[in-house]
């Protein structure tokens, strides 16, 4: 990391202190991807302490691209530098929060306060629709449930969710898309997939269920007390390498010669808001 920073600083000096933004952005994103431990993150933090606004912006570009797993370390740094004094650093710090999509009242209030006092038109154009989108997302997590029937099953879903994909043996329901988020790095999608595999050989049913419960790729399993009694039939995971991870709760059930596979998907950042709802969806599923 220090070699990449040193290389950028050398080019900055050779350019008489004028930053090549494309190179600055590329190096910042590379630095974000290189953070593996606290020592690496300290390198990003040290950039913010530099006198040069261009070196601070290298830090803010890295912060803007950093993975969600570093949010607890990165958020206080971004809050502090919302008032860095260099417009583009402040802009990147606002983008950091809008990418990470925090919904806690305290953070949203700090972002509102920054929007109210800024004279930076770029921050205003970014933050006004971005903060409205986050509040719309927060409101969507409070939508009441309604009964739904599909593929021979009855279950409960938020009343605003609609079918977004359907094939012979599967159907996907999704929360309404929020346009601003859809165009961002982190769309914060919430979905439910129901898949029915019929006429399975009873001798193969158990093995097929086990295979469908297994994870895909490099994933982290979340152990939660509410899932203990579903060991072997329900698991909660998220992609370890995802910048903005999606939590998937997968459940499999067998009915004679039929396999039922279900998935709920929601942002890891909003697990506290979505877990009870998503478990309620799975618990509600019953054959007609």
Tell me the pLDDT tens digit for each residue of 204-251. 888 888 888 887 767 888 888 888 888 788 999 998 889 999 999 999
47 or 20: which leads in pLDDT = 47
pTM of the model: 0.91
State residue 160 phi and psi, 5-degree precision.
-90, -10
State the average pLDDT over residues 78-106: 95
194 or 211: which leads in pLDDT = 194
pLDDT digits (tens, 9 = 90+) for 116-161: 999 999 999 999 999 999 999 999 999 999 999 999 999 999 999 9
Predicted pLDDT at 214: 82
Predicted pLDDT at 16: 64
Percentage of the residues of the chain whose pLDDT score is greater than 70: 98
Predicted pLDDT at 229: 81
Predicted pLDDT at 276: 94
Q: Kindly indicate the confidence band of residue 67, based on its pLDDT and cuts at 50, 70 and 90.
A: very high
Predicted pLDDT at 174: 97
State the average pLDDT over residues 83-109: 95
Predicted pLDDT at 24: 86
Predicted pLDDT at 17: 62
Name the average pLDDT for the chain: 91
């Amino acid at each position: 990391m220090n070699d990449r920073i040193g290389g950028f600083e050398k080019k900055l000096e050779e350019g008489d202190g004028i930053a090549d933004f494309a190179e600055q952005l590329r190096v910042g994103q590379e630095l974000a991807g290189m953070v593996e431990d606290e020592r690496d993150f300290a390198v990003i933090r040290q950039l913010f302490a530099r006198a040069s606004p261009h070196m601070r912006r290298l830090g803010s570009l890295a912060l803007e691209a950093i993975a969600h797993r570093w949010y607890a370390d990165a958020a206080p740094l971004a809050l502090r530098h919302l008032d860095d004094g260099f417009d583009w650093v402040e802009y990147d710090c606002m983008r950091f929060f809008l990418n990470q999509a925090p919904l806690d009242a305290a953070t949203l209030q700090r972002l509102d306060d920054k929007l109210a006092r800024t004279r930076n038109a770029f921050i205003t154009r970014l933050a006004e629709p971005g903060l409205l989108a986050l509040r719309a997302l927060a409101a969507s997590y409070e939508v009441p449930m309604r009964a739904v029937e599909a593929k021979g099953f009855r279950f409960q879903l938020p009343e605003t969710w609609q079918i977004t994909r359907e094939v012979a043996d599967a159907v996907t329901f999704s929360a309404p898309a929020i346009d601003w988020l859809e165009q961002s790095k982190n769309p914060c999608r919430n979905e439910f997939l129901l898949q029915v595999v019929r006429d399975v050989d009873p001798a193969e049913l158990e093995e097929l269920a086990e295979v469908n419960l297994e994870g895909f790729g490099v994933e982290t399993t979340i152990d939660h007390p509410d899932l203990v009694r579903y060991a072997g039939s329900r698991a909660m995971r998220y992609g370890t390498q995802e910048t903005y991870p999606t939590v998937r709760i997968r459940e499999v059930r067998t009915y004679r010669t039929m396999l039922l596979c279900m998935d709920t998907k929601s942002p890891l950042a909003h697990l506290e808001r979505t877990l009870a709802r998503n478990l309620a969806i799975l618990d509600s599923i019953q054959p007609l």
